[in-house]
Amino acid sequence: MKIYQILFLLTAFLFAGCNSDQPAANSPSDVLKQYVAASQKQDIALMKSLLSKGSLDLIEKSAKAQGTTTDELLRRESSVKIQNAIETRNEKIEGETATVEVKNETSGEFDMTIPFVRENGTWKLAPDKYIGETLKKANDEINKKLANSALSNSNSVPNANTNNSANK
């Protein structure tokens, strides 16, 4: 008789877990799909729950700079409608971080890699990492171009000693 009571309680806990407000996100790809679905429904609370702390902090700073709220910025983001189901591939989990490649609807290429972090055992979208990586790549490219430009300019400037000896 006790075994039935234990099974009943276990089943009750399992069903309670399945009916919670926050859907289970077993993988970074699942989190991304849930985020897109929440965005399409303009479920700001769910969107916020799927974002990393660092991302929420970044959005909050951006909102303050624009004189608005975090919720309003997320609402604006959710006004962009996605036509097709989001396609993902190459989910890579490395410890507490992960990435997922996403297909660009316009180009048809998998040219975007979305980062994730695990916080308190749950995968969270980390667009702050994506923005940081994008800014770093842009900064590296600018520095590389500046270095190449400086090299080109130094090679094209005539040597002062060469000019003096030619004038003699």
Q: 81-85, 98-102, 128-132: which has the minimum mean pLDDT?
A: 81-85
- pLDDT of 29-65, one tens digit each? 999 999 999 998 999 999 999 999 999 999 999 999 9
Q: What is the pLDDT of residue 6?
A: 32
How large is the average pLDDT for residues 127-133?
79
The pairing of strands 112-119 and 97-102 is: antiparallel
> Strand, coil or helix: what is 140?
helix
Number of structural domains (the chain) is 1
Residue at 167 is within a domain: no
Residue at 82 is within a domain: yes
d(CA 111, CA 125) in angstroms, rounded, equals 17
Residue at 135 is within a domain: yes
- pLDDT of 90-118, one tens digit each? 899 999 999 999 988 888 898 889 999 99
Residue at 128 is within a domain: yes
Q: What is the pLDDT of residue 29?
A: 92
How large is the average pLDDT for residues 134-159?
74
- Specify the CATH number for the domain of residue 37: 3.10.450.50
Q: 12 versus 119: which is more confidently predicted?
A: 119
In the block, tokens 């700073």 appear at 61
In the block, tokens 């989990």 appear at 93
Radius of gyration of the chain (CA): 26
- Report CA dihedral (126, 53, 136, 68) to the nearest 10 degrees: 100
Residue at 162 is within a domain: no
Domain limits at 60? 2-155
* Under 8 Å between Cβ of 47 and 125: no
Residue at 168 is within a domain: no
How large is the average pLDDT for residues 54-80?
89
Residue at 90 is within a domain: yes
